[in-house]
Structure 1
Amino acid sequence: MYKQTNNFKLFGTDGIRGVANQYPMQPHIIVELGKAMGTILSQQAPPHTVPKVVIGRDTRLSGAMIEMALTAGLLATGVEVLLIGVLPTPGISFITRNMRASAGVVISASHNPFYDNGIKIFGSNGFKISDETEAEIERMVKEENLRPYLVQRERIGKSSRIEDTNGRYIVYVKRTFPLEYKLDGVRIVLDTANGAAYKVAPAIFSELGAEVIQIDNTPDGTNINAECGALFPHVISDAVRTYRADVGISLDGDADRLLMVDENGDVVNGDHLLGISAFHMKKKGRLRNNTLVVTHMSNYGLEKKMLENDINVVRVDVGDRVVVEEMRRLNANLGGEQSGHIIHLDHTTTGDGCIAALCTLGLMIETGQKMSELNRLVEDVPQKQINVRVGNKTGFDQIKGYPELIQRIESELSGQGRVLVRYSGTEPLVRILVEGNDQYQIDQFAEEIADLLRKELC
């Protein structure tokens, strides 16, 4: 029980995240988290059964420390722990289901720098756990003395390392690619961001016949996402041009996010990937309920193209977990984010960069089109995004001059654009997005908002 942490929220919009060895990513907190999680799983388990928890991680330096602390807490409450080592986030979701585990844990801070780390928890069905379960875990860590939940010595949990999970995941991903298709003759530049997919991703694409040129594929614990991967598109763009490749595939540190590049080095972001898949899935009658789920950050150009083709577009708050929840509610099978979280619910329960890439490569083969031709399907409207680092997260309506500024900008846009300002759920940032018909105008509007928020919040 850590009453001194009661003023700090443990779970954010996507699990727990923070700087390694600072709250909440400290070993003693993680041990308590393991105890709380193990206690809940034991209470939910059928009589005379032992819950199993899969734990996997990415390549960052602090991963082993957190893995050991979490394992200790789970074992102390009688849970069996299966350690699978480095594997992409979607791979851990798959292994959780494949091993019939009670839960799966990903130790990763996704696209963040190496000095950050985080914890995401999947249920036995491979979907991220509910807000209610997160809240109960957080309550127990903050408010309860967990020592009474420790099991007797003969019931302490066992841990073991599972050695063949890479192979299982590779086969699983390849099965999403039609058997009649091959990638023979396709030259791919692959950027794994020195992260969790550095072993499995090259195997997936090369085993399907592609010529794979690997970059950013030598993790050392500190170079994950370091000027590489999906957040740095110029890297993969330059490499595609240099090697005269047919396509570039860029993943983030835990490989649940994808960015692609066409043969000219032009970026194919999440909006375009979603639009390409939705358009062709509808033509084939495979777009369930004729619906695409995106977030408020997706470009209006995507929505416009979908509406032109009688595809319903549903917008939700930012976060792949929020997207998945809405997809399940609407019985939709395609959704995602502009940032590159692409969810094909027919194949997976969470964003999977490798599966999303294969779905797009399959469309290249099916249509006989180059990536650049597919990319032209969606035409973006001008958009400007600015992130402002803040010292506090004051309510926007309480910021002097902010409501009046937004009202003026929206009036000047005259219904031909939109403004979206929100706080990041995982970082001390405010994210600003402005869309409209005139790039110069929306750049000015975004800078006005950013200047005001820097003045008031920094």
Structure 2
Amino acid sequence: MGRLFGTDGVRGVANVDLTAELALGLSVAAAHVLGEAGSFEGHRPVAVVGRDPRASGEFLEAAVVAGLASAGVDVLLVGVLPTPAVAFLTAELEADLGVMLSASHNAMPDNGVKFLARGGHKLDDELEERIEAVYEEHRTGAPWDRPTGGGVGRVRSYDEGFERYVSHLVGVLPNRLDGLKVVLDEAHGAASLVSPEVFTRAGAEIVTIGAEPDGLNINDGCGSTHLGKLQAAVLEHGADLGIAHDGDADRCLAVDHTGEEVDGDQIMAVLALAMRERGVLRADTVVATVMSNLGFKLAMEREGLSLIQTAVGDRYVLEEMKEHGYALGGEQSGHVIISDHATTGDGTLTGLLLAARVAQTGRTLKDLAGVMVRLPQVLVNVPDVDRTRVGSSVELAAAVAEAERELGATGRVLLRPSGTEPLVRVMVEAADIDQARSVAGRLADVVKSALG
């Protein structure tokens, strides 16, 4: 069996790759493994289960609940809430694990299962591998140890989760948003109710788009992967800024008052300076991935801040932050982690703090984001190739070496297999956009020929 867990849980086409049977079996295995790991500490275990609005989340939620309850885990159903809300509630309620059903920014036919450990933290590789091993062992014939009678788990709705999460977000704001006009694009996703409520309570005048989920329209031409509608709405309504989330609202991208995109690197740059000013940017350090723009690194150096870069994936950023106690980290894609207030990327929290900086300084987001200048960066996704051979192809290695020689010290090349989709990502950075496009195109062709 190939590895089921990717960089963000188990993900695939719902009812094809991710079936009810798989969701149920993984949930039972997770209950057994986390119990053996000592998370349950001898008491009756409790799980928080949430989902985004995808239609497939309804049957997958039922399967996960069945698996957990059959393993003796009591389940608190929080309904449609963002991933960071489920993480927050897992910690706040001192639950033994959390489960979120979402495929994040992926299109509607996909779905995913994300497990969270006690405290609302993502599982490390070792725990995921143990869950897979237990699942496979029992899938091939070994019987589950099943409780009976009063030993089976009980299931109830926990409707208070919405209010507890909203109150938490409003409570961490350093200042109110009165006087700001903000457009919110909720991607017809998990934050469609939460985000407008939070921004309104914080004092902002809001315009909301992409906030009418019907189970089928999540991420469809809207949200953080499709900023066009948000850019148009910001200009139409004369807003100070726009905030875009993805399907499970663990990421945030922004748009300034002129309609220009403000990406995750720029958001982190703005927040880093704000946090340093408040004395909460520990060790004056920010954690980002190797995908961050070179302009971000140069800006942090110029401002006297340290930048630590990790492998791609917010889990690796989190690991570095947890190990050394850093307060801010994230990805160019908009996963931003503020560890004093969240255990994972939280798009609503990120958007709130970005808006709070605009309100506090009286400066435009465009001006604030100008602390860094993005160098031209081209990203090409190459589908339908064997992503497992990225690191072993001699032909590809030679092409990369040639490209790096051509770019010299003014650019860089990064090739990596996607952790969530069947494709290889080719990223090229250069001082000149035409050169970046040319090099990226040539490398994409080599990827197709060498790995196709």
Distance 1:349 1:394 in 2: 30
Q: Is it true that 1:254 corresponds to 2:284 in the alignment? A: no
Cα distance in 2 between the residues matched to 1:126 and 1:42: 16
Residues 120-156 of structure 1, C-alpha deviation per residue, up to 9 Å, x if partnerless?
A: 1111111112211111110011123453411123311
Distance 1:141 1:158 in 2: 22
- Aligned-pair CA distance for 1:45: 5.4
Spell out, residue by residue over 1:188-235, the C-alpha distance to the aligned partner (whole angstroms, 9 max, x if none): 111000000001110000112211111011111110001100011222
* Partner of residue 160, structure 1: 156
Q: 1:137 aligns with which of 131, 147, 150?
A: 131
Alignment partner of 1:151 is 2:147: yes
* Alpha-carbon shift at residue 406 of structure 1 (Å): 1.3
* Stretch moving more, 405-414 or 239-248: 405-414
What's 1:223 paired with? 217
Mapped partners of 1:394, 1:254: distance in 2? 28
1:211 match: 205
SS in 1 for 2:63: helix
Looking at structure 1, the residues matched to 254 and 347 of structure 2 have their Cα atoms a distance apart, in angstroms, of: 10
Q: Does 1:380 align with 2:351?
A: no
Conservation of the 8 A alpha-carbon contact between 2:294 and 2:374: yes
Q: Note if contact 1:32-1:146 (Cα within 8 Å) is conserved in structure 2.
A: no
Give the Cα separation in 2 of the matches to 1:141 and 1:39. 10
| Secondary structure class of the residue paired with 2:122 | coil
Is the 8 Å Cα contact of residues 140 and 146 (structure 1) preserved in structure 2?
no
Question: C-alpha distance in 1, partners of 2:275/2:160?
Answer: 34
Q: CA deviation at 1:345?
A: 0.6
Q: Check whether the contact 2:187–2:222 (CA below 8 A) recurs between aligned residues.
A: yes
Please state if 1:72 is matched with 2:66.
yes
Distance 1:204 1:406, change over 3 A: same
Correspondence 1:237 to 2:231: yes
CA distance in 1, matches of 2:267, 2:87: 22
The equivalent residue for 2:278 is 284
Do the aligned partners of 1:55 and 1:85 also contact (CA within 8 Å) in 2? yes
Aligned to 1:30: 23
**Which residue pairs with 2:104 in the alignment?**
110
Identify if the C-alpha distance between structure 1 residues 241 and 47 changes in structure 2 by more than 3 Å, giving closer, same or farther: closer
Q: Structure 2 CA distance, aligned partners of 1:312 and 1:202? A: 34
Matches within 5 A, 1:335-374: 335-374=329-368
Check the 8 A contact 1:279/1:306 in 2, yes or no.
no
Q: Is the 8 A contact 1:17 1:117 kept in 2?
A: yes
Q: Which runs of 5+ in 1 are unaligned?
A: 1-5
Pairing partner for 1:86 from 80, 87, 104:
80
> Which stretches of structure 1, 4 residues or longer, exceed 4 Å deviation after superposition?
45-48
Cα distance, 1:45–1:427 mapped onto 2, change above 3 Å? closer
- Once residues 450 and 104 of structure 1 are traced to their aligned partners in structure 2, the CA distance between those partners, rounded to angstroms, is 39
Instruction: Using the TM superposition, name which of 86-95 and 360-369 deviates more.
Output: 360-369
Distance in 1, Cα, partners of 2:394 & 2:327? 43
Say which SS state the counterpart of residue 230 (structure 1) adopts: helix
Contact kept in structure 2, 1:42 and 1:79, CA below 8 Å? no
- Secondary structure, in 3 states, of the residue corresponding to 1:403? helix
Q: Give how far 1:404 is off.
A: 2.1
Asked if the contact 1:41–1:51 (Cα under 8 Å) also holds between the matched residues in 2, the reply is no
Pairing partner for 1:275 from 265, 269, 272? 269
Task: Kindly state the Cα deviation for residue 164 of structure 1 after the two structures are TM-superposed.
Answer: 1.7
Moved more, 190-199 or 139-148: 139-148
1:368-447 matched pairs, under 5 angstroms: 368-396=362-390, 398-399=392-393, 401-447=395-441
Matched, 1:310 2:304: yes
How many residues are paired up? 449
Could you state the TM-score of these two structures normalised by the residue count of structure 1? 0.95
Q: Which amino acid aligns with 1:253?
A: G
Over the matched positions of the two proteins, sequence identity in percent amounts to 40
- Confirm or deny that 1:172 pairs with 2:168: yes
Deviation digits for residues 316-345 of structure 1, max 9, x if unmatched? Answer: 011111101111112110000000001111
| Superposed CA offset, 1:60-93 (max 9, x none) | 0100111111111111111111111100000000
CA deviations 1:267-321 (Å, max 9, x no partner) are 1110000011112322333210111100011000000010112211111011111
My pick for the range that moved more, 51-60 or 351-360, is 351-360
**SS state at 2:386 partner:** coil
For the aligned residue pairs, the C-alpha RMSD in angstroms reads: 1.4
1:110-129 aligned within 5 A: 110-129=104-123
Which residue is 1:55 aligned to?
49
Is 1:100 aligned to residue 126 of structure 2? no
5+ residue gaps, structure 2: none
Question: 3-state SS of the aligned residue for 2:315?
Answer: helix
User: Alignment partner of 1:149: what SS?
Assistant: coil
Quote the Cα distance in structure 2 between the aligned partners of 1:362 and 1:186. 9
1:409-456 Cα deviation digits (max 9, x unpaired):
111112211000000011001001111111111110000001111233
Q: Under a length normalisation based on structure 2, what TM-score does the superposition of the two structures give?
A: 0.96
Conserved 8 A contact 2:178-2:359: no
